[in-house]
Amino acid sequence: MPIELTKEYIENIQKIIAENDEKSAKKILKDLHPADIAELYNELTVEEAKFLYLLLDGEIAADVLIELEDDDREKFLEILPGDLIAHQFIENMDSDDAADVIGELSEEKQDEILKHISDVEQAGDIVDLLNYDENTAGGLMAKELITANENWNIPTCLKEMRKQAQDIDEVYYVYVVNDDKKLLGILSLKKLLLSRPNSIIKNIYDENIISVDVNTPSEEIANLMDKYDLVALPVVDPIGRLVGRITIDDVVDVIREEAEKDYQMISGITQDVETTDSAWILTKARIPWLLIGLMGGILVALVISRFENDIQINPQMAFFIPLIGAMAGNVGIQSSSIIVQAVATDNLGFESTTQKLIKEFSVAFLNGIILAGIIFLYNFFLSDSFALTLTVSISLLSVIIFAAIFGTLIPLLLNKLEFDPAIATGPFITTMNDIMGLFIYFIMGRILYGVF
């Protein structure tokens, strides 16, 4: 049952810690889920958290460590000795989680922990995983899995599976391999149970299996597992040997991290940051797009100054400058966000770039007609200048169409060039559409005021 970490609850735990009351602390921890204990960490000092964590048994302690935020986990581990981390946490983790935890630490700390892991094979698995890029299949996979040789019979297979299952929390699939450890297919547990004892694995396994190479990007893996509704995905090396598996919980983390990254890029933040980062790190992440926004603002000012005489002759045009700029930015953000989302989920469909632009033009034209019609009626009844009424309405329609096409085209082009299209949203689209929107507005004003 979920526990609400109220102020009184936290103060009671802090009092227990201050009194060094291990018995009461263990009683409280017994009723908490690892995620609740990790949340509790955020309300305590590092030393208070250390007191509690040293009271946990190995498996629970490992689960709590995984639940912690990356920065909190790193701070906590840095104050603990390497032998304690190895025996209390790492030895109770799957290889992928252990590699993730150790990979966040300094090289000196990594070496210290690895030397104290008693299981040499586990330590070797962790070292192997640390050599892969964290954003690839190799960096996501765990080494723990169940395999069956194609030449085994059913009794042999069951006997070997029992041995392998001791180190695995969840059994999703049994992977069939040959004598060279090359992946051949998967064996259904149902078929394994229903087959005759003298059946040979090569005669009952399923050859239709989806696998990925160790260097497959994490985004591609997430899209693959989503498309085929997979809970686990085998990973092979360049010559087809089975080296690990990726489970759905790892992919959920990838999806969440990618969503956070895209959101930050859309907001004009150039690197992955947390609220707990230093002011200097946050500044470095934000300043590039702010500088671009500043330059865009200067260009907007230059556009306005270029048409200064027009504004002096028709000062009412200045009233609608914010409206034109805001609508241009909003429409561009909407269009680009849809494309970025489609790219992120690998859901662009079979339409060509031209077809997508035509569709976006149609949507923008309909939206533009509605919005331009509303502003036309507003100015028609409240303004004594018919030229202004037409200028604002036609300009708004033109700006909406341009912003939609521009907001669609730029992310598509970046995607074709293999750049992350998320960089094209937010400040970039807004700034460019502001500039072009005002330019269109003043050109329309010059033309239409000359006619009317």
pLDDT tens readout for residues 20-36: 898 898 888 888 888 88
Cα–Cα distance list, 139 to 61, 95, 230, 245 (Å): 23, 11, 19, 11
Q: Is it true that 7-134 and 279-451 share their CATH fold?
A: no
Q: What is the structure's pLDDT at 271? A: 64
DSSP class of 420: -
Task: Give the number of other CB atoms < 10 A from CB of residue 416.
Answer: 10
pLDDT at 255: 77
Tell me if residue 49 falls in helix, strand or coil: helix
- Give Rg (Cα) of the chain: 30
**Looking at the predicted structure, is the pLDDT value of residue 449 above 80?**
no
Q: What pLDDT is stored for residue 267 in this prediction?
A: 62
Q: Residue 321: CB partners within 8 Å, gap ≥ 6?
A: 304, 438, 441
Dump pLDDT digits (tens) for 302-329. Answer: 888 888 888 888 888 899 999 998 898 8
d(CA 270, CA 406): 22
Range among 37-46, 170-179, 423-432 rated most confident: 170-179
What does each C-alpha distance from 69 to 30, 41, 285, 369 come to in angstroms? 22, 10, 20, 48
pLDDT in tens, 79-94: 778 888 888 788 888 8
User: Could you tell me the two tokens for 440?
Assistant: 């269109």
Q: In angstroms, how far is CA 161 from the centroid of its own chain?
A: 35
Global pTM value = 0.66
Is domain 279-451 classified as CATH 1.10.357.20? yes
- 370: confidence class by pLDDT, cuts 50, 70, 90: very high
Q: What is the pLDDT of residue 368?
A: 94
Burial tier of 11 (Cβ tally within 10 Å: 0-12, 13-18, 19+): exposed
Q: What is the pLDDT of residue 177?
A: 96
Is the predicted pLDDT of residue 451 greater than 60, yes or no?
A: no
Instruction: Give the CATH class of 7-134.
Output: mainly alpha
Name residues whose C-beta falls within 8 Å of residue 303's C-beta, 6 or more positions apart in sequence: 435, 438, 439, 442
What's the mean pLDDT when you consider all of the chain?
85
Greater pLDDT, 338 or 258: 338
Report the SS3 class of residue 285: helix
Q: How far is CA 403 from the centre of its chain?
A: 27
* pLDDT at residue number 42: 77
Q: Helices (DSSP H) in 237-320: which residue ranges?
A: 248-266, 279-306, 308-313
So what's the pLDDT on residue 365?
95
Residue 452 has pLDDT above 60, yes or no: no
Residues of the chain above pLDDT 70, percent: 92
Measure the CA–CA gap between 326 and 403, rounded to whole angstroms.
11
**pLDDT at residue 274, rounded to an integer:** 64
**Residue 75 has what pLDDT?**
77
What is residue 69's predicted lDDT score, i.e. its pLDDT? 78
pLDDT in tens, 157-190: 999 998 888 778 778 889 999 999 999 999 988 8
In whole angstroms, give the CA distance from residue 326 to residue 322: 6
pLDDT at 238: 93
Q: Which amino acid is at 274?
A: E
Query: How many angstroms separate the CA atoms of 360 and 338, rounded?
Result: 10
The whole-number pLDDT of residue 149 equals 95
* Cross-strand partners of 232: 247
Distance CA 307, CA 444 (A): 12
Residue 408 has pLDDT above 80, yes or no: yes
Calculate mean pLDDT across residues 332-349: 75
Least confident among 113-117, 287-291, 433-437: 287-291
Predicted pLDDT of residue 52:
87
Select from 3.40.5.50, 3.10.580.10, 2.60.40.10, 1.10.10.10 the CATH code of 146-255: 3.10.580.10
- Give the start-to-end residue ranges of the domains of the chain: 7-134, 146-255, 279-451
Lowest-confidence region among 51-60, 129-138, 432-441: 51-60
The token pair at 51 is 């007191």
pLDDT tens, residue by residue, 254-312: 877 776 666 666 665 656 666 666 777 777 777 877 787 788 888 888 888 888 888 88
Which structure tokens are listed for 39? 């949340």
pLDDT at 323: 92
> Residue 186: enclosing H or E segment and its boundaries?
strand 183-187
Residue 338: enclosing H or E segment and its boundaries? helix 321-344
Closest CA to 10 of 39, 33, 30: 39
- Candidates 23, 72, 78; CA nearest to 45 is 72
Least confident of 62-76, 83-97, 354-368: 62-76
Which residues contact residue 22 at a Cβ distance below 8 angstroms, ignoring those fewer than 6 apart?
A: 55
Q: CB under 8 Å to 106, separation ≥6 — which residues?
A: 78
Q: What is the 3-state composition of the chain as percent helix, strand, coil, each rounded to the nearest 5? A: 65, 10, 25
Contacts of 204 (CB under 8 A, 6+ apart): 187, 191, 192, 195
d(CA 161, CA 382): 81
